[in-house]
Amino acid sequence: MQITEGYMPFQKYHTYYRVVGDLNSGLTPLLLLHGGPGSTHNYFEAFDALAERTGRPVVMYDQLGCGKSDVPDEPSLWQAATWVAELQALREYLGLDRVHLLGQSWGGMLAIIYLCDYQPRGVQSLILASTLSSAKLWAQEQHRMIGFMAPVDQDAIAKAETTGDFTTPAYLMANQHFMERHAAGPVTAESPEFLRRSKRPGAVAYTTAWGPNEYFPTGTLKDYEYTDKLAQLTLPTLVTSGVNDLCTPLVAKTMVDHLPHAEWTLFAHSRHMAFIEETPAYLDRLTGWLSKKD
C-alpha cells in the first residue's frame, strides 16, 4: 500500500501529514482528526488496514503542537480557531474536496466546531468516535465515574481540584488508575508498533486548551457547549464509543439524540479507543458505513 508523508506550510509553521493509498483512486478519502489536543496521529495507523482492505485513501496528520508537526512556544495558538484553520488549510493543500470526516475525542470536538461554525462543503459523512458535545456534561460524567473509585483515589483527585496542585504522587496515581480504567492500558511489548513508537505529545497544547486531566476542563475549550447546535448537522453521522469509555453512554446518547441523522455503535469490550481494542469489529462497522455514504 502506497504511503505518502510530507509537511504542509501552515502560517509560520509546518504540519506533518500521512496519506495511505491513492487520493486519485475515485473513492472519497477518510480524513482523521486525532485527540488530545496533542495526542498525535500514531494510533490512527490502525486504519491503514482499512485502506489496504478497501482501496479507500486514508489521511491523517499531527495537529500543530505535537508529534512531527511544529511545536511553537506560543500559548495563544492553543485554541479551536488555530486547529480549524489548520484543518481548512490541509484540505486545500491536499485537494480534499470531498471527505468522510472521523474525529476521535478532541478530534470529534474539532469536527463539530468545524461543521457547525464554518459550514464547510464536501463532507460526505461524519464519524464521531468517543467524543463529546458538552464540556459540562463530560466533566459531570467523569466525576460520576470517579465516584466508583477507591476512596483514597477519590480523595486525591478532590484535593488536587481544590488546591490546584496536580503534581502530588497520590493524585498522579489516582489519575493513572482512572485513565487505565476508562482511556487505555499501558503500552506493552505486544502492542502494535505504532503504539510502541516514541512520539512527541503536545503537553502544553493539552493543558492550555483543555486542562490538567480529562475531568477538570480549565483551558480555552472549557466553555465548549455544542449540544444544541448538533441539530444543524444534517449529514449522515455515526457515533461510536466503548462501554468503559470516557465517552460514557450518556455522553454518546446525548449526541445521538440531538443529531438529525445519526446511528450509534457501542463496543462492548472497549474504553476510549475502540478502533484499537476491537480493531476488526470497528473496521468492519466503518467499512460498511463508508461504502453506503460515497
Q: Where are the beta strands (DSSP E) in 148-242?
A: 237-242
User: For every residue of 177-193, which 3-state class applies, written as one string?
Assistant: HHHHHHCCCCCCCCCCH
Q: How far is CA 212 from CA 64, 148, 208, 222, in A?
A: 19, 21, 9, 12
- pLDDT (tens place) for every residue of the chain, 294 residues total: 899 999 999 999 999 999 999 999 999 999 999 999 999 999 999 999 999 999 999 999 999 999 999 999 999 999 999 999 999 999 999 999 999 999 999 999 999 999 999 999 999 999 999 999 999 999 999 999 999 999 999 999 999 999 999 999 999 999 999 999 999 999 999 999 999 999 999 999 999 999 999 999 999 999 999 999 999 999 999 999 999 999 999 999 999 999 999 999 999 999 999 999 999 999 999 999 999 988
Choose the catalytic residue: 39, 69, 105, 125: 105
Q: What is the pTM of this model?
A: 0.98
Residues 6+ positions from 237 with CB-CB distance below 8 Å = 125, 126, 127, 128, 259, 261, 262, 263
Dump the DSSP string for 123-147.
EEEEEEES--SBHHHHHHHHHHHHT
Residues 6+ positions from 38 with CB-CB distance below 8 Å = 63, 65, 66, 201, 202, 203, 204, 205, 206
Predicted local distance difference test score (pLDDT) of residue 69: 98
Predicted local distance difference test score (pLDDT) of residue 231: 98
Predicted local distance difference test score (pLDDT) of residue 1: 82
Nearest to 253 by CA among 267, 265, 244: 265
Quote the cell numbers at residue 253.
446518547
Are 170 and 1 a contacting pair, CB within 8 Å? Answer: no
Strand partners, 3: 20
Predicted local distance difference test score (pLDDT) of residue 293: 87
Strand partners, 250: none
Kindly report the number of other CB atoms within 10 A of residue 272's CB atom.
Answer: 23
- CB hemisphere CA count around 186 (13 angstroms): 4
228 is catalytic: no
- Cα separation, 175 vs 36, in Å, equals 16
41 is catalytic: no
Predicted local distance difference test score (pLDDT) of residue 294: 83
Nearest to 60 by CA among 13, 26, 107, 92: 107
14 is catalytic: no
Choose the catalytic residue: 153, 245, 258, 270: 245
- Residue 82's Cβ-count burial label (10 Å; 0-12, 13-18, 19+) is buried
